[in-house]
Structure 1
Amino acid sequence: MKETLTNANFPQDAEGHVYHIHVKRGQVANRILTVGDHLRARAIAKHLDHIDFEHSSQRGFLTITGRYKDIPVSIMAIGMGNPMMDFLVRETRAVVDGDIAIIRFGSCGSLTERAPPGSVIVPKGGYCIRRNIDYFCDTPLHSGIQDMPYLISGTFAADPGMTELLEQTLTKAMAEHQEDIKIGPVIGGGLNADGCSFYSAQGRLDPQFWDDNTQVIDTALASHPTTDALEMETSMLFHLAHCSKGTVRAAGCMQVFADRVHNGFIRPEVVAVLEPLVGKAVLDALVLVEIEAMNEVGTVWEKKMKV
């Protein structure tokens, strides 16, 4: 850390950069495509008309801002997990004027035979699976849940209009795909589950740890039988949008990497075809979202008057 920070409640430096993402007003657009992987973000950024700003923070966040079809957008790579999504949503909310539209493009495990590896899932909502720390504690503090190793939340809806746009642009992109490598289909209408971890909360068995997770997926499906996908970020995005007092709208899609039904995994050559196609389709959906444009004065994407 090089900057002097004074506000422990919400740290920002003297120029207004937020602590973890290290961006300030005018560097992030109010249309955001977020991914976990920095390489994925840079690959998607090749579709932009031009790049006006790029920054990697010391905390591992990458921000690329430019225009796509002449509309300001930001592509942000955040790494993995719910805390990273929390940093993204709260810290961009602090430096972006007006409402924000965020679309998450991730990868997931499939819990339905309708979505084999190479499919793309567009959930209508999501929920969270949390490891109940008290269950594993020698002296549990809370009564009533100490016999439950994992806690399943209620659901949070994605933005319906953004989700519909995303399904449309993805379906169109799949239909126009002409290569021999088979991809798709696009699966919509179901739910996404966020695990608080990649291993225990997603039912992966590790004999070197005490997890009691052999039933966690069945337990989640019993509560939410329309669950299609399992990953770690998208449902948290929906939850934070729900809690944003109406200022953040969110949708998400994920390419199916892991088949959790039949224990299969996507092939590298399929990823090479699928990932750029989905990335462009997400940008196509993002710029169709009706949202008031930010004032461009002082932003990195401000159009300069020709002399």
Structure 2
Amino acid sequence: MSTHIGAGDGAIAPTVLLPGDPLRARWIAETFLDDAVCYSEVRGMLGFTGTWQGRPVSVQGSGMGQPSMAIYVNELFRDYDVQSIVRVGSCGALTDRLAIRDVVIASGACTDSSMNRIAFEGLDYAPVADFDLLRDAAAAAPEAHVGLIFSGDSFYSARPELLTRMVEHGVLAIEMEASALYTLAARFGRRALAICTVSDHIVTGEETTADERQETFGRMVEIALTAALGK
């Protein structure tokens, strides 16, 4: 039983979907899983286990940002022997190649976070997705955009103009978790992938509502389940 999840042995499946919002975790469990049971309500960060097409899968809220998400990912890998984590979240489009509600599958994650620089003593580690998960997700969603994303430490950045340089080097969208997820998966020798739906557009100013972000991003969940568990 871990500190921040508090689930018993065997309560969490080897494959976990990881939304930031605990209410999105509940919606995913109620919408996509059969016989879902809540295994954690610690700090209101809900976790559920059920089945999808007869195979066990869990969904766990992680909070916003790399520090919060890293707590849950560490405990899922270390204390519950989870083998695969797929982040299912929202992102902001940084290029007019993307539209609202487009799906982005992150092949790698740039970041302004100091977490990896501290861990690697100043070296720039390059966090990337698990290849098999990436390949299977891309095959399941030919309409999705596959490429780099940016994991920012600040939701309200003091220097948003700096993202232009990232876009010039192929970065598609911004979110707040994938870099730490990919790094921790590598550290534990496990599999990880981030799949995000465009919730707002930095270029055009378009955005979705909070309710839409919570409950209308079903396509990325279908892609995540197919990639992680097979058709």
Identify the TM-score tier after normalising by the shorter chain.
Answer: 0.7 to 0.9
User: Is residue 2:41 matched to residue 1:56?
Assistant: yes
Matches within 5 A, 1:215-230: 215-221=161-167, 225-230=169-174
CA contact (8 A) 2:95 2:167 kept: no
CA contact (8 A) 1:21 1:87 kept: no
CA distance in 2, matches of 1:56, 1:288: 29
Matches within 5 A, 1:174-193: 185-188=143-146, 190-193=147-150
Structure with the larger helix share: 2
The runs of 5 or more residues in structure 2 that have no matched partner are 115-121
Matches within 5 A, 1:99-138: 100-130=83-113
> Which residue does the alignment assign to 1:261?
203
- Specify the code of the residue in structure 1 equivalent to 2:72: L
Q: 1:166 aligns with which of 119, 130, 137?
A: 137
CA contact (8 A) 2:101 2:217 kept: no
Q: 2:4 aligns with which of 10, 20, 34?
A: 20
CA contact (8 A) 2:23 2:214 kept: no
- What is the CA distance between 1:271 and its match in structure 2? 5.5
Q: Root-mean-square deviation (CA), in Å?
A: 2.6
- SS of 2:135's equivalent in the other structure is helix
- SS of 1:156's equivalent in the other structure is coil
CA distance in 2, matches of 1:197, 1:65: 31
- What is the CA distance between 1:214 and its match in structure 2? 4.7
CA distance in 2, matches of 1:273, 1:28: 23
- SS of 2:13's equivalent in the other structure is coil
Structure 1 stretch 235-244 or stretch 270-279: which is displaced more?
270-279
The runs of 5 or more residues in structure 1 that have no matched partner are 1-16, 132-150, 172-184, 201-210, 290-307
> Which protein shows a greater Rg?
1
CA distance in 2, matches of 1:272, 1:156: 27
Q: How many residues align?
A: 224
CA contact (8 A) 1:106 1:255 kept: yes
- What is the CA distance between 1:228 and its match in structure 2? 0.7
Matches within 5 A, 1:1-307: 17-46=1-30, 47-57=32-42, 59-97=43-81, 100-130=83-113, 153-171=124-142, 185-188=143-146, 190-200=147-157, 211=158, 213-221=159-167, 225-244=169-188, 246=189, 248-266=190-208, 274-288=216-230
- Specify the code of the residue in structure 2 equivalent to 1:283: L
CA distance in 2, matches of 1:152, 1:253: 26
